[in-house]
Amino acid sequence: MKKICVVGLGYIGLPTSLLFATNGYDVVGIDVDANKVESINRGTMPFEEAGFQCLLDEALDANTFRASKIPEESDIFLIAVPTPFDKGNRMADLHYVIEACRSIAPFIKKSDLIVIESTIPPGTCENCVVPILENMCNGGKGGLKVQQDFYLAHCPERAIPGNTYYEMVHNDRVVGGIDEKSALLTKKIYQSFVKGDIFTTSVKIAEIVKLMENTYRDINIALANEFAQIADEVGINVWEAIELANKHPRVSILKPGPGVGGHCIAVDPWFLTEDSTKSRIISLSRDINDGMPKYVLRTIKEIIKNLNPRDIIITVFGVAYKGNIDDTRETPALKFILLAEKEGYTVNVYDPHVKDRRFNLLPLKDAVKNSDCIVVITDHNEFNSLPVEEIGDIMKTKNIYDTRNCLDHKRWENAGFVVKVLGK
């Protein structure tokens, strides 16, 4: 049984580890967080994701998976650490990827395969990863060469939180090899659990494909958000307009919202702009989507303009970046809350999924007590089964602003609420 060492046990690394561990590989997962390592080895998933608790139980029982803080000699090394966005310089922060490469490099020997799953700018494997691995491999002595002595590929993930298991198994994958053999070796290991097609290409094309996919979606969302703002100006229902426009066989407009979050769509487009002067649409789309929390606040200020600004309480429903998950990475809710607090408003938060301590998370009744306006940032399913009348009875002013168009608005109106919807 071949051994895989996976560096990074986050939203991608841990699920990938468990899929390999339950499909014929011996896997050791590496993470610098000692508490996470201990918790995983006890059998506890560190985040909500359907299907993976069962896989963790299965892998631990079969002794094909364990977590550790220190890398080990293996046949295959897989790096799945985050690639944060350096907001000051608007470029990828590669320090986690670099440190992960340095941590595994001394353990690399002849015929080993190294796979980078982390999202990276074009050229990173050739210009950054290869020199580290060649200089530090072979017990730190170096001397081994990529292509000649060991293999390297980039296989970016294609999965979304909340549906990770299905998408990791069923989505098509792209594998970019530093050479053809690297690509084919990588394709073979992923075929152990991937049921979709696996396409092989060069490493640099694989690097840019992932960025192009998320940039396409970001630009589409920015267009929808601009449509929503125009709809507010001219007084039409953008949701109906988008639905009708999408009847055209070559049109597929996404939904508007309060901004874009997550570790991919809100971040990856910037990786294409850092070395390019040809990215005007990409940069503009990022600015439009990053500006949506400010637009949402401006709308709320119009809703509550007749109230005493010194005594205003706003309740945020949902701070996860998308519905029915606990992931708050790059959530537009954070920027909205900071802007609202800067205006002097008190902001309470209700989110049935999130446990992130950065937010003023409260039980439902405490979050809405004496509130002047509810703003729905996240489209959690739970928000459609709330006790609307009870909420209205303890609010100071019955206003609600639905930025996701996800509520039963008639139900709230019947309870006496003034309902405002983004783009409607």
- At which residue do the structure tokens 């290869």 appear? 130
Local structure of 114: helix, strand or coil: strand
Whole-angstrom Cα distance, residue 283 to residue 56? Answer: 40
| Pairwise CA distance, residues 316 & 374, whole Å | 6
> What is the rounded CA–CA span in Å between residue 47 and residue 52?
10
CA distance 402 to 67: 42
* Candidate list 125, 137, 155, 264, residue with the active-site label: 264
Q: Considering 5, 36, 101, 210, which one is annotated as catalytic?
A: 210
Residues linked to residue 92 through DSSP beta bridges, in sequence order: 85
Query: Looking only at Cα atoms, what is the longest distance across the chain?
Result: 74
The CB-side HSE value for 11 (13 A sphere, CA atoms) comes to: 21
HSE-up of 419 (CA within 13 Å, CB side)?
Answer: 18
H helix or E strand, kind and range, residue 28: strand 26-30
Q: What beta strand segments (E) does 38-197 contain? A: 65-68, 76-79, 85-86, 91-92, 113-116, 151-154, 173-177
Residue type, 121: P
Q: Give the SS3 label for residue 84.
A: coil
CA nearest neighbour of 12 among 174, 187, 167: 167
H/E stretch holding 194: none
Residues pairing with 173 in the sheet: 198
d(CA 135, CA 1): 29
Q: Are strands 85-86 and 91-92 parallel, antiparallel or unpaired?
A: antiparallel
**Neighbour count for residue 139 (Cβ, 10 Å):** 13
Whether 406 is a known active-site residue: answer: no
101 is catalytic: no
Tracing tokens 């930025």 back to the chain, one arrives at: 403
What count of residues does the chain have? 424
What residues act catalytically?
210, 264
